[in-house]
Amino acid sequence: MKFSLKWWIEKVIEKIFAFSGMVTTITILLIVAFLFNEGFGLFRSPVVERGSALLVNTANPAEYVNSTDIKKIFNYAIKNWSEIEDIKSGFNEDIIPFRIDDIFSVYKEEEFGENYEKLTEKLGEHIANTPGILAFLPEQYMPTDFEGVRTLEKRTIHPKYFFLGMEWLPTSRPAPQFGVVTLILGTLLVSLVAILIATPLGLGVAIYLSELAQSRVRDILKPAIELLAGIPSVVYGFFGLVVLVPIVQKTFNLNVGETALTGSIILAIMALPTIITVSEDAMRSTPRSMREASLALGATHWQTIYKVIIPYAASGISAAIVLGIGRAIGETMVVLMVTGNAARMPNLFGPVRTIPATIAAELGEAPGGGAHYQALFVLGCALFLITLAISITAELISKRQHNKGL
C-alpha cells in the first residue's frame, strides 16, 4: 500500500496537534497541583509567627489561646483571663501582654550583662513573677528551663479560622489574621451588582443587533463592541479612577468615590462585550422557519422576539450571563484601582476588597514560603474553584436543547 506525501503530512500534523493537547493538559494539571500544594501548606503553619512562641506563668492553667483571642489580647480588647472561653478554670487575673522590648523597662541596662548574656534569665524571672503575663518572645531567647515559666501549646492554623474568619490582617503580630469572609463577600458583591447592571443593557443591545438593526449598522456596531474586550483592564481602571470615581462621590455625597458601586459599574462595562456577543449569536441561530411561522400566525415582530426568539436562545443567553459573571469575578486591575481595597464587611457605597485584588496587592510583599504567602495561594484556590464552577455551569447551560424554553 502506497502512502502519498499528503497522507504523511496530515499524519504529522495530527500527531503535533495531539502532542500539543497533551502538553497543554499536563501543564494545566501541574499548575493546579502547584497552586493547591502551596496553598494548603498554610494549615501546617503555626498560629504564632514562625520562630516565636507564647509563654505564661505556671500558675496559669491556659494550654492554648486561639489566634483571634491573641490579637484581642495584644490590642487590649481582652483584659482578663476569665474573658477567654478556652480557659475553663476561672483563672481571674488581669492579662499583661508582654513583648521582648518591654523587658528593658523592667530592669536596668547593666542588669543584662555586658553582652546581654543575662537577657534570657531576666525574661524568665519576670515571667515567673507575673501570674497574668502572656509573653511573646523569639525562640532564641525563650527561658524554657526556667522554673515558673511554661510555653503554650503550639498549634497550626485551623481551616475554621480561615474560611469563617472575619478579619484579614496578615501582618498582625504575634498572630496573623487570615479570615476570608469579607474578601469573598466583597468579590461576590462587586461581581453580582456588575452583572445586574450589564445583563439588561447587554441583552437589549443583543436584541437590537440581532433583530432590529440594519445590516450596515450591525457591521459597524458589532466589531466596535467586540473591540471593547481587547482594551487592557488597566485602561478601564484608569478611566474609572479619573472619571467615574469623582462622579460617584459627588452623586451620592460620599467621603470617597472608591466604592463597590464604582467597581461594579466598570466591571459591567467590561462584561458587556461577552454578554452581547454570545447572546446575539444565540438569537441569530434561531431557525428562519420559526420566525416565519410566528409571523404567518399573526404575531408582530416584537411578539416574535420575546415569545419565540428569546425562549429559543435562552440557553445561549444564560451562558452569556454566566460567562459575564466569570469575567467580573476574575478581574484584578480594575477592582484594585477603584474599589478602595478595604478588607471589611462589604457595603455597596463603601470601599471593599476582592480576592483577585488582594492577591495582586500583597503577593509581592509576602515572604516566600511563609503563612502570608501560603494564605494568598489558598485565596487563589478559592478563586479557581469559583471560576471552575462558573465555567462548568456555563457549559451545562450551553448544552441544553435550544427548544427547551419554547
Alpha-carbon span 309 to 325, nearest angstrom? 23
Grid cell 454566566 is found at 322
pLDDT in tens, 51-79: 899 999 998 888 888 888 999 999 999 99
Alpha-carbon span 47 to 57, nearest angstrom? 20
Q: At 2, is the pLDDT very low, low, confident or very high (cuts 50, 70, 90)? A: low
Alpha-carbon span 216 to 218, nearest angstrom? 5
Q: Which CATH class is domain 52-155?
A: alpha beta
Domain ranges across the chain? 5-44, 52-155, 181-405
Q: What is the pLDDT of residue 403?
A: 44
Report if pTM > 0.75: yes
pLDDT in tens, 365-404: 888 888 999 999 999 998 888 888 887 877 777 666 444 5
| Cβ-based neighbour number of residue 40 at 10 Å | 14
Q: What is the pLDDT of residue 91?
A: 79
Give yes or no for residue 188 having a pLDDT over 50: yes
Fold of the domain built from segment(s) 181-405? MetI-like fold (1.10.3720)
Q: What is the pLDDT of residue 56?
A: 92
Return the ∠ at Cα 100 (arms to 99 and 104), rounded to 5°. Answer: 110
Q: What is the pLDDT of residue 398?
A: 66
% the chain with pLDDT above 70: 96
Mean pLDDT of the chain: 87
Give yes or no for residue 110 having a pLDDT over 70: yes
First and final CA of the chain: distance in angstroms? Answer: 54
Q: What is the pLDDT of residue 88?
A: 61
Alpha-carbon span 73 to 38, nearest angstrom? 31
Say how far residue 347 (Cα) sits from the centre of its chain: 16
Supply 340's cell numbers: 478602595
What one-letter code names the amino acid at 314?
Answer: A
Higher per-residue pLDDT: 109 or 1:
109
Whether 81 and 59 have beta carbons less than 8 Å apart is answered as: no
Give yes or no for residue 158 having a pLDDT over 60: yes
